[in-house]
Structure 1
């Protein structure tokens, strides 16, 4: 894994032009006196954590905040970076992978269950540890992320799984060249699958997460708005969040889809939007010399890159497309909006 400084040394345009020449294969019981000492230590720890994390002390409040403040988040970050830089990590869709995209997906799918009307779901609770949420189709493959983070949770038992998942994503975004996403600890963990979020929407099979294809561009656009509006996001935020597809890849063993969206799948950048606007996308019909038998997806002329129907709808729908165009032209704008909308997403349900 490149160091963060080295990754940030490549401009998106340079990464893109360089990447064009390669295939994608190259390419997360005190006594009364002791209580006083502990309280003072907690206050200092809370202030230090707030300074380091870029948040204001006291935002989370209560016993949960005190427990989270007692965690040495600088040390947690160091352990997460070790995971991100593990050269032994492998990905079935591309070489040179890191766990960063997987850790972001974990936090994204945890927080993305939020419903603003019922005030259920969201990043608080870490209910994906339980059934039925753990087996939702959209969460396939995420048990690998749970396993990667379990040693960190054991090392810092005062930290909730919910906080760990979000913090790991924040660290991953920054380590992959993205802007810092503000993090406020204080999330709690639910006790059982009885508290998994449920929702009887019209356009999904199970769970509360978006589907990649609803059969037509119009239906897919309607579906995206239904899912994301339920969380409280508008069109611009939907497109910005979709920029997470600048990282990682799809896997046939999980979703049935295959391949990375960009040639820089371990870097936060606007490459996803540039590919959407500047590349040529046609329905995928073959894969490694054989007929493609997976779900409908699109590929570029090399067959190395892919787009989902839900990606393509971002340039098929006029309202979505205007934001795709803005981000394709301005990486700084995307980086700013992406960090902001991730911060909003990761705090849903608190």
Structure 2
């Protein structure tokens, strides 16, 4: 039988974001109707190689929490009303690094730069989000889908769009204002993303708080929720924005669900929420 002709190769002069991917194979399951930017084979190869390098680097340096925070803060500035902000590489700008909520992220940018320089074809926007995906995977968390094609933007967003953990009695309103009204995410996304605090710790000089949320802040599991349900413990952190997950009638059932013995449900919902966050805008 004659073999079908291979798809045409892109011109060497075609921009990485300007070619079309072939349609899915016949009989493949239907995918969600979302239009992703298209990238060249060369770009995809660079993503795969960069991911391998990031896996080794992040595991060696034990810097997964820092890289996850970089990815989150890069994306969490998106505003649905103005279509500004979001995961478009502006975190490398000194003006955005100077935002109070981003204290310490200059370390992440500096650590990543030698690897980024090896892949000039990649946008910073894609590279920072790829680092966040890898940070979850290398610490035992779920595989978060990654779709390349973000382009870098020149201007950082204004300060004040990221969550503020000091909101106290209005914490639940604040979380919904930032995640739902501003970013367009759901209550489920809010709780699932909060579970990402199973990684990392607060530093007093950066946030005014000190301590980790879990006993092992370099492991991605559902212990954020089990610790939240077990009450405050000496040496572990529970911020107002954490405690409100227990008192809000929509948030609490999700906390109970994610604290189950097997983290499968949390992992699935976290991967979905992380994907949404990383693709805002």
Task: State TM-score, norm by structure 2.
Answer: 0.85
Maintained 8 Å contact 2:43/2:122: no
Maintained 8 Å contact 1:71/1:159: no
Secondary structure of 1:197's aligned partner: coil
Maintained 8 Å contact 1:178/1:268: yes
Which residue number in structure 1 is paired with residue 172 of structure 2?
Answer: 221
1:343 aligns with 2:275: yes
1:105 aligns with 2:69: yes
- Distance in 2 separating the partners of 1:239 and 1:222: 14
Change (3 A) 1:38 1:143: same
Deviation string, structure 1 residues 103-150 (Cα, Å, up to 9, x no partner): 1110100100111111111112x1122243211111110011101110
- The number of equivalent residue pairs is 260
| Unpaired segments ≥5 residues, structure 1 | 1-34, 90-97, 199-205, 282-299
Maintained 8 Å contact 1:83/1:148: no
Corresponding residue to 2:83 among 104, 119, 123: 119
Task: After TM superposition, give the deviation of residue 70 of structure 1 in Å.
Answer: 5.4
Maintained 8 Å contact 1:67/1:159: no
Task: After TM superposition, give the deviation of residue 85 of structure 1 in Å.
Answer: 2.4
Matches for 1:192-341 after TM superposition, within 5 Å: 195-198=155-158, 206-216=159-169, 219-229=170-180, 230-278=182-230, 280-281=231-232, 300=233, 303-329=234-260, 330-341=262-273
Q: Name the Cα RMSD after superposition.
A: 2.7
Corresponding residue to 2:59 among 70, 85, 88: 85
- Distance in 2 separating the partners of 1:146 and 1:132: 13
Secondary structure of 2:280's aligned partner: coil
Which residue number in structure 2 is paired with residue 15 of structure 1?
Answer: none
Matches for 1:33-182 after TM superposition, within 5 Å: 38=12, 59-61=36-38, 65-66=39-40, 69=43, 71-86=45-60, 89=61, 98-124=62-88, 126-182=89-145
- Distance in 2 separating the partners of 1:178 and 1:104: 12
Maintained 8 Å contact 2:47/2:122: no
- Distance in 1 separating the partners of 2:12 and 2:152: 24
Task: State TM-score, norm by structure 1.
Answer: 0.69
| Unpaired segments ≥5 residues, structure 2 | 1-8, 25-30
- Distance in 2 separating the partners of 1:36 and 1:131: 36
